[in-house]
Amino acid sequence: MLKFIIVRFLSSIPTLLLLIIVSFVLMHLAPGGPFTSEKELPPEVLANINAKYGLDKSWPEQLWNYITSIIFHFDFGPSFKYKDISVNDIIAQGFPITMTYGLWSFFVATTVGIALGITAAVKHNTWIDYFAVGVSIGAQVLPNFIMAPILIIIFTLWLDLLPGGGWNNGAWQNIILPVIALSTSFMASIARLTRGSMLEVLNSNFIRTAKAKGLPARTIIFRHAIKPALLPIMSYLGPAFVGMISGSVVIDIYFSTGGMGQFFVEAALSRDYSLLMGVTILFGVLTIIFSAVVDILYAWLDPKIKL
């Protein structure tokens, strides 16, 4: 088990390095730079600035300096755009916000999705099933960038129940709308997957055996059916989490929540190399950690996989 975990994490190091190199190269390949603007700077000023940020060095040298400062000093460098603020500062400010509503969204999407899916499967071909399927198909065609304005119109402009933006130190009123907007389409996917998987399990031979043993329906569902039905869902949770993190870009823009997504977009538009790299790496690391956690959980739950 421990060996599996160690190998899993060690093997993600090359992935991460590749991610850094590819995003670094892609960014530098694009024309323009952080200090290109409509009003041209005098060449000597530009040269000074470039020297200050180390942009006058060759690419490999820049890349090497960047990677070593991350590894040895855990320093993602200064922001090119925001004067006197380091990337570390920006991440420290935005990351907790993203994680707060990201994790809430993940929690809501999985619990509601799984509950809906299981209920639909157990009540197969009844109005409950049709209702659940209808809801999830409806929810699936509402991605976060559609959900967000709709929610703001209904709950802020019409009903005046919840604030339409801002973070307010994470007050619950401010969290609700971003979480609903971000989680709805994932909740729908999880519900549909769970329903399909549960139906398959309920039609399997070992459930027939369980019925032949005289077990009550509750025991059959909770002891015999849920675990095998949820295992396939596990492999969807990794990509779903990543989807939610990248969906935070949209949420930050619509709700002005001040999370990482906002910086991501701004950094990309203004060529803030170090900030963009920092955010990319952070999202990359999150993705890798989360898929590793899912893999390990999966292996732990499935008796056929021995670690």
Interface ranges with another protein (CB under 8 A)? 7, 125, 204-206, 208-217, 219, 223-224, 227-228, 231, 301-304
Query: In the complex, what is the shortest distance from the CB of residue 184 to another protein, in angstroms, rounded to a whole number?
Result: 31
When the beta carbons of 31 and 216 are compared against another protein, the nearer one is 216
How many whole angstroms separate alpha carbon 49 and alpha carbon 84? Answer: 14
From CA 68, how far away is CA 138, in angstroms rounded?
Answer: 48
Q: Please, what is the minimum distance in Å from the beta carbon of residue 131 to another protein? A: 18
| Structural contact between residues 292 and 8, judged by C-beta atoms closer than 8 angstroms | yes
For residues 62 and 119, which CB has a smaller minimum distance to another protein in the complex?
A: 119
CA distance 160 to 164: 9
Residue 194 CB, nearest distance to another protein (Å)? Answer: 16
Minimum Å distance from CB 93 to another protein? Answer: 40
- Complex with another protein: residue 201 or 276, whichever CB lies closer: 201
Residue 186 Cβ, how far from another protein at the closest point, in Å?
A: 25
Positive/negative CA dihedral, 294, 262, 56, 30: positive
Nearer to another protein, 29 or 212 (CB): 212
Cβ neighbours around 111 below 10 Å, total: 13
Going by C-beta distance under 8 Å and a sequence separation of 6 or more, which residues neighbour residue 207? 201, 220, 224, 225
Sign of CA dihedral 286, 108, 259, 141: positive
As given in the structure block, the two tokens for residue 52 are 């200050």
What share of residues in the chain are helix, strand, coil (percent, to 5)? 75, 0, 20
Q: Which is nearer to another protein, 125 or 169 (CB)?
A: 125
> Considering beta carbons, is residue 57 or 123 the nearer one to another protein?
123
Q: How far is the CB of 222 from another protein (least distance, A)?
A: 12
d(CA 252, CA 264): 10
Q: In whole angstroms, how close is the CB of 303 to another protein at the nearest point? A: 4
Query: CA 68, CA 51: separation in Å to the nearest integer?
Result: 19
**CB neighbours (10 Å) of residue 134?**
11
CB of 4 to another protein, least distance (A): 12
Q: Please, which residue, 8 or 57, has the CB nearer to another protein?
A: 8
Phi-psi region of 258 (alpha: psi -120 to 50; beta: other; left: phi over 0): left
> Closer CB to another protein, residue 99 or residue 296?
296
